[in-house]
Amino acid sequence: MAKDLVRIGMVGAGSISESHLAAARDGAGAKVVAVCDIIEERARRRAAEFNIPEVYTDHRRMLEESDLDAVIVGVPNNVHHEITVNALKAGKHVLCEKPMAINTAAGEQMVAAAKESGKILMVGLVNRMRSEVQTLRAMVDRNELGKVYYAKAMMIRRKGIPGWGSWFTRKEESGGGPLIDIGVHALDLAWFLIGCPKPVSVTGHTYTAFGPDRRGLGSWGIPDWTGYYDVEDLAVGMIRFENGAAINLEVSWALNMPPETRINVIGEKAGALCTLDGNVRFFSEVDGELVDTTRQGSKVSIFQAQLRHFTDAIREGKPVLTPGEHGLTVTRMLDGIYESAATGKEVRLD
């Protein structure tokens, strides 16, 4: 093993661990030396698949016994907090899957633990790694779209409820439905692309039309037919920012509409449309005539780019693109949408 490879412990050997472990196998400056899952058979299976020497069923034991630089947290949302805080306290850098936490209070403790430890807390807001997203953000920073005042983010699945009855659809363990599961990506992208302004207020609404009847089921996750469904399947929200900008968000796991992913970023000089297919389309006006252009980005393996970014930051002491503080602001906005939906009122965040 090359000496400068970052030694990683993977916590959680479920679906998403495959993306992280494949990224490490394919060269991202990391060597996974341990894998941990409370279901031993899952950890053993991943260890065999990815040639990982150490297997654990308790992350605390892994933190004590294994010689690790960093931990990747890929467990149900409600467990992110405990494992991340323990890993940071044990002096490990952490790459924690999205959403960073099921609520703001847990996220705040994670950020505080990172500050105290001096270690990196990176949140797996992996879509920021897309080349077209980085290109567009750089263009916004260079004022090429003019003043950016509005963004619309949509992630609409028509039939995509993950793991019915499992932790995904139980609010206590997931924190919510599509809003926290995929809305976290959509909202984060829109917020990142308009330059991460300070949110001041949120309104939102949620609907549950499919899940309780076991309709709208997708293929991600492992269903548990003894479980239950107490989360939304559609969420809408509007966030206002200190600089006057606003984001409109619409996300669903199940909806009687065609599936759609889009982030619209609207500036005074040009609007941009990202559909996460590698390209960005631009809409503007020259000499009174409408001009539409497409910029073709390069295809990026986003999990590999994310892991490479994390290991480079550890080795070189550089800041990360998706720090805990950003994950926390996104969590505040998501919490605000849920609170507004529950109370029927606007929620102030300032």
Ligand X SMILES: NC(=O)c1ccc[n+]([C@@H]2O[C@H](COP(=O)([O-])OP(=O)(O)OC[C@H]3O[C@@H](n4cnc5c(N)ncnc54)[C@H](O)[C@@H]3O)[C@@H](O)[C@H]2O)c1
DSSP 214: T
Torsion, CA 170, CA 173, CA 178, CA 182, rounded to 10: -150
Binding mask of the shown chain, residues 60 to 89, with x at each position contacting ligand X by CB under 6 A: --------------xxxx-x----------
How far is it, in rounded angstroms, from Cα 277 to Cα 201?
31
What is the residue type of 184? V
Which of 124, 204, 211, 271 binds ligand X (CB under 6 A)? It is 124
DSSP 319: P
Binding to ligand X (CB under 6 A) within 194-233 occurs at 221
CA distances from 311 to 52, 117, 194, 342 (A): 18, 18, 27, 40
Q: How far is the CB of 222 from ligand X (least distance, A)?
A: 6
Q: How far is the CB of 106 from ligand X (least distance, A)?
A: 13
Binding to ligand X (CB under 6 A) within 275-334 occurs at none
**Tokens 């060269």 sit at which residue?**
27
Which of 30, 32, 97, 241 binds ligand X (CB under 6 A)? It is 97
List all residues 6 or more positions away from 287 whose beta carbon is below 8 Å from its beta carbon. Answer: none
DSSP 309: H
Which of 5, 10, 14, 23 binds ligand X (CB under 6 A)? It is 14
How far is it, in rounded angstroms, from Cα 25 to Cα 37?
19
CB atoms under 10 Å from CB of 245, counted, come to 20
Are 202 and 164 in contact by the 8 Å Cβ rule? The answer is no
Number of residues that bind ligand X (CB under 6 A): 23
Closer residue to ligand X (CB): 14 or 177: 14
Binding to ligand X (CB under 6 A) within 157-196 occurs at 181
What is the residue type of 188? D
Q: Is 261 in the site for ligand X (CB under 6 A)?
A: no
Which of 5, 24, 126, 231 binds ligand X (CB under 6 A)? It is 126
Q: Is 245 in the site for ligand X (CB under 6 A)?
A: no
Q: Is 36 in the site for ligand X (CB under 6 A)?
A: yes
Q: Is 59 in the site for ligand X (CB under 6 A)?
A: yes
Q: Is 52 in the site for ligand X (CB under 6 A)?
A: no
Q: Which residues bind ligand X (CB under 6 A)?
A: 11-16, 36-39, 42, 59, 74-77, 79, 97-98, 124, 126, 181, 221
